[in-house]
Structure 1
C-alpha cells in the first residue's frame, strides 16, 4: 500500500512484518508492559502484562544494575544510585530542550533506557509464545495526554534507540506513539462499543480520577470529539480527539466541608449534630489511596 502527496509517493510501513507488539505505558509511579501477537486471529492477553514500580538501583560506579521495578529494595545511600518516578523527571528534561540538558538529565535518559530494555525482556520471557528475534517486535509507547507531541521525537525515541530496542536506521513506525486517551478508546472491544458508543459528531467527556497524595485526588476532565478521517460508513471505527481539558484537585477535607454545609442547610437543627458527626466520622476514616499507575 502506498500514499501520495504533492512531493511524491511513499510506501506505507508494513507492521505485519512484525509478528508481535510490545506496548509500554509509563505512569507516575509504575510502568506496565504487555507483549502480544499482532495476528488478526488473536487479541492482547492481559495475562502477559507486566506491571512494576518505576524504580532502578545501580552500584556506586553504575556498572551493575542491582534491582529494578522494586521500590522496596534495600538501598544504601552511600554505595547505591537509586532513581524512581521517571515520568515527571522525563517531562522536566524535555522542557529544558536539547541544548540545556546536563549530566543528571542524561543519566535519567540512560536509566529509563535500561529500565525499558529490562522490562521488555521480562515481558517477552513471560509470554507463552516464542519470539525468535528482536525483528519480530514493534513497539507502542503510551504518553500522558497532557504532554506535548514533540516529546515523542525529542526524547522518547532517542531513549528507545539508546536501549537498543530500535536503531536509528529503523522506520519510525517501528515505534508508534499513542496518548493515554487514545489507548483507552482503542482498547475497547466491539462488545464494549455497544455499551459505550462513540457516535460521529457527538462529544464525550472523559473523567479520570488520579490520586496525587494521601487524601487528595486530581479530577481530570477531557472533552473529546470523535472523528474518522479515512472511512465514512456507519460502523467504521471513530478516533478520539481532545478538544479541551481541565483539572482540579479535591481533598477529603473539601468533601467533609461540603457535607457539613449540606447538612447544615438541609436538616433541622435537632437532626444536624448526630447525623453530621456520624457522616464526617465515616469519611474521616476512609482515606484516598496514594498509589497510582
Structure 2
C-alpha cells in the first residue's frame, strides 16, 4: 500500500500514556468493535444509489421491528453510558507521537475521509468525519470503559473510533494477518460503523437489541458487522482506483477478515465453535462481504439485512 507522502488526518486525539479510565466496561448498547486482544467475548463517485440499501433497511425496520423508518436518517447517536458513569473528557487533542505507525493510521483515516466525503457529497450531503482516539492500555469513551484487550472499537455516542496500535502486533503475531492493507482494513471497518451511525443503522440496532434475546441480538449483530466489512470494502475499491494499492494488498485484507471470523477465533481459543454465539460473522462471511464492497464500490451491494448472508 503506497501510503507514504499522502495527506494525514488531523481528526486525531492521542491519549497514549494518560492511563485514564474507570471500571465498568462497554455496555450492551455501546461500542462496536473488531474482535481482538485477549478479551475475545467474543470515493468518491459511489453516489447514494445507496438509497437502494436504505430502502431495504427501511422495509426491514417497518415490517420486522415496528420502528418508524422515516426517522432512520436522524442520527440519534445510539451509544449510551454505562449506568453511573460520566461522559468522557475531551482530552488533549494534540498528536503527541509521530512514529511511523501513527503516521500510517492518520493517513488511512484521511483516505476514508476523502472517500466517504465524496460519496456523501454526491447526494448533496456533508460527511462529518469521526475522530480517531489513540490510546494505550485502557481508555474511557461515551460508551464506557475499555481496555486494549477489547480490540479496536467505534462508539456511536461520541462518534469516535478507538484503537491501541499495539493491536496490529497481535493481528500479525496471533492471527497471522500481516501487511499494511490488513491494518488499514481494521480502521476502515470501524469507519464503516461510523457511516452506519450516520445513516441510522446503529441507533436503530441499539434500540432494538434492548428487547431482544441474546441469540436474536447476536444474529442481528452479525448483519451489522458484515455491513461494516462491506463498507470497508467500498473504501478499498476507491483506494484501488487512486492507484494506492500494490500487488497482494487485497489478499492481505481478505486474510485478515478470515482470521478474525467468529468460527476461526472460537476454534483457536476454545477448540470448538458455537454458531449461535457468533456476533461478527464467520471467516467466509467476513471475507465475502468485504470483497463485495471492494468489487462494486456501491452501497446497494452492502445490504446485509435482506435474505441470507
Range of TM-score over shorter length? under 0.3
Q: Please, what TM-score do these two structures have when normalized by structure 1?
A: 0.24
Instruction: Report 1 or 2 for greater relative contact order, CA contacts < 8 Å, sequence distance ≥ 6.
Output: 2
- Whose helix proportion is higher, 1 or 2? 2
- Whose strand proportion is higher, 1 or 2? 1
Q: Please, what TM-score do these two structures have when normalized by structure 2?
A: 0.23
